[in-house]
Structures are given as C-alpha cells and as structure tokens.
Amino acid sequence: MTKELSPRDLKSLINKDDRFKRAEALLQNRWESLLLDAHFGMTTITREDISLARHLIDAEVISTVVDLRTFSGIKKFIMTNQSRLSEDVIRTLKEPFL
C-alpha cells in the first residue's frame, strides 16, 4: 500500500536537498559517491537517512537497488555497509523484524 510523504519529506523530494540526496544514494547503492563531495561531511549512514529512505520506498516515489523491506535485504545491507553503521542504526534497521 502506497503511503503519503510527510510535508518535510515531500519538500526534500521536490527540492532534491541534501536529505534526499543521502537517502537516494543509500537506496541506489551509491553511498561512495557522497564521499567524493566534501560538503556532505558525515560519511556514516544515520537513522535519519534510513527513515527518509523507508518513507520514499513506502510512497513508491523512487526506484531502489537496496532492499530495506525484507530481513534478508536488511542483513545484506548491513553486511555491505557495516563500517558506516552505528549499533543504533543497525538496531533501527532490524526493528521492524523483531
């Protein structure tokens, strides 16, 4: 079922702001591309990145290479990006399946 984006998330989508670019890079498995752009600063994946990425998936407004809907997809994502994830972010990723 398609969900609507919150006003803040919709604004990020429309403006293609840094929040959106981080979530898009996460979903397209292009996180490394952000590291080349110094203005993004933080190279770790945050809970905010995960949250917006999930909202974009639920609203079906972006295509994705990364699977954040299944436990096996989450496990693969964690294995691939472990060096960029805090324990708190890993817990957030697994939360829907616990």
Coil, strand, or helix at residue 71? helix
Q: Is residue 1 in some structural domain?
A: no
Q: Is residue 68 in some structural domain?
A: yes
**Sequence letter at residue 75:** K
Tokens of 69: 């809907």
From first to last of the 98 residues of the chain, give the pLDDT tens digit.
689 999 999 999 999 999 999 999 999 999 888 777 656 566 789 999 999 999 999 999 999 999 999 999 999 999 999 999 999 999 999 999 98
Q: Which of 87, 89, 98 is nearest to 26 (CA)?
A: 89
Q: Is residue 2 in some structural domain?
A: no
Look up the domain containing 15 and give its range: 7-97
Structural domains counted in the chain: 1
* Total-model pTM: 0.88
Coil, strand, or helix at residue 45? strand
